Amino acid sequence: MLDSHGGFTVRLRSGERVASGISVATRPSRSISFARDEWSDHTVDEWVLAAAAQPIWRSSAIGGWVDPFGTVWLDEVRVVPAPLRALAMLLGRVSNQHCVFDLERRESLVVR
């Protein structure tokens, strides 16, 4: 999904793709990033296992994307229902995020 769609959001415990809502990285201190050509299954597996060990109320999904410079970002995210866009923006601001992502529209929303 990273290469074919430019990113992904999946439920943390089931791996099911999340297709709607607004994805917000709410725990930036737990994000990891690396150059695309430095992908390590071992590192990613360890990160996913650590995320899954957290209480479900902290993060119910994980998201990944590649920035314009070829850096892969993996984040623990919350998916907020689209009608609660203002709440997603607030969570993004509180978490010092530049953008959140509308999964259904497949577009980044600048946090103001």
SS (H, E, C) the chain: CHHHHCEEEEECCCCCECCCCEEEECCHHHCEEEEHHHCCHHHHHHHHHHHHCCCCCCCCEEEEEECCCCEEEEEEEEEECHHHHHHHHHHHHHCCCCEEEECCCCEEEECC
Between 64 and 3, residue with greater pLDDT: 64
CB 58 within 8 A of CB 77: no
Furthest CA-CA distance within the chain: 38
The structure tokens listed for 35 are 């150059």
* Confidence grade of residue 50 (pLDDT, cut at 50, 70, 90): very high
| For residue 19, pLDDT beyond 90 | yes
What pLDDT is attached to residue 102?
Answer: 96
pLDDT single digits (tens) 56-81: 766 689 999 998 899 999 999 999 99
The per-residue pLDDT for 57 is 65
Domain extent, residue 21, equals: 2-110
Domain total of the chain: 1
Per-residue model confidence (pLDDT) at position 112? 84
Six-digit token pair at 99? Answer: 């953008």
- Across 40-53, average pLDDT: 93
